[in-house]
Amino acid sequence: MKIHINARSGLGDSVYFLSVLQSIVQTNKELCLSLFCWNAGVELFGMLEPKPAIINANDIVSVLGKTHYKHDTAGVSVFDTIGHVDYYIDLQPSERYRAEVLAVDAKVKIAVNPEPSCESLYGHCFKTHEGEHILQTYRRMASALFSIMDYIEPGRFVVSNEMSHKIDKSIALLQRGADRPIVCIHPGAKDLFKLWDVRRWGAVVNWLVDTYNFLPVIIGSSLRFAGRLPILDIPSAEAIQRLSYDRSFNFAGNTDSVECLIALIQRCQLYVGLDTGPTHIAAACSVPTVELFKIQTPHQFSTWRIQGNNTCVIPADSMDRLTDTQVISTVSQWDIFKTHFSPITRRG
């Protein structure tokens, strides 16, 4: 059976789709799988065993409705290299990719959460229902098409020994023998509307240090732009470091590798971040996770373990209206801290 997947979704969605793909691969040993995805997806889906054929979307350019390799002046369609497939699965397709979908030679075409204008291009469309998480949508699709019953939970990430040793060494240098708990802070997002004021981040970081003796490690991308959008991870990290009186460590720019990011997050005792891919990775890895969420449907697209005490999803819009003191008063009431951590006892 041959399956081609157009995984244009972000890293967060890919974390959940990866677990469903692992379940499909595990129950279909003769599967021939190919994927079309962005940089982070290339590395993430590369963790599948057996490894699928992966086409990096950054090597592709769309010209006049036709898809070509950037380095190919002859104009060979990416789908010419795939050939006929049994299933073509498109994640969150839009009208702009109509020509690509029509070019696919597939027995069955499937879409997950397509734009309404392009639903007619597919034989099957699966939409995330009210009250349903995106992971449940992916599982519903896999159950209907491939009769999958038992699913692997998100978070089965295989990190090399070399990367594990590298991260362990970095953390040991940061702790300087003190063995303090690590809190991973991710203040960045490629969507500007998701960002939170750095002053609030500074206040939260200082509270975590003063109350729980956390060692804050700030992560983020070294990229300055994602498409047309500026990524402000490094400036934000530098500002938070200053606001925390240099009691936090700036790792922004050192975790561009997905494997490195996963290895670092797996070593943390707490993660605090926005609605971004690393936040979904943290929750999937069962790291206690605080997610500051700014859209209206957290039940659909926030971290998967939303029902348990492992994840705390906070409506960041309401936090924006509070003073720094009120923010800390609110943060201190979050159940995730009461469940997992004990405040430090100070002498004198």
Give 29's contacts (C-beta < 8 A, 6+ positions apart): none
Stretch (H or E) spanning 210: helix 198-212
Q: What is the pLDDT of residue 277?
A: 87
SS3 35: strand
Can you give the residue ranges of every domain in the chain?
Answer: 2-146, 161-340
| pTM higher than the cut 0.75 | yes
Strand 106-112 with 229-230, pairing: unpaired
pLDDT at 53: 83
Question: Among 3.10.129.10, 3.40.50.2000, 1.10.357.10, 1.10.760.10, what is the CATH number of 2-146?
Answer: 3.40.50.2000
Predicted pLDDT of residue 163: 94
Beta bridge partners of 81: none
- For helices 11-27 and 134-146, give the axis angle rounded to 10 degrees: 30
Per CATH, 2-146 and 161-340 having the same topology is answered yes
Q: What is the pLDDT of residue 301?
A: 59
pLDDT over 80 at 115, yes or no: yes
> Span 161-340: which CATH code?
3.40.50.2000
Whole-angstrom Cα Rg for the chain: 21
- Give the residue, 66 or 191, on which the prediction is more confident: 191
**Structure-token pair, residue 311:** 């994840």
Q: Which amino acid is at 293?
A: F
Amino acid at 326: Q
pLDDT in tens, 335-344: 677 777 777 7
CB 17 within 8 A of CB 41: no
Q: What confidence score (pLDDT) does residue 60 get? A: 61
Span 214-249, pLDDT tens digits = 999 999 876 654 444 445 577 788 889 999 988 999
* Between 58 and 118, residue with greater pLDDT: 118
CB atoms within 10 A of CB 319: 18
| pLDDT mean over 34-56 | 84
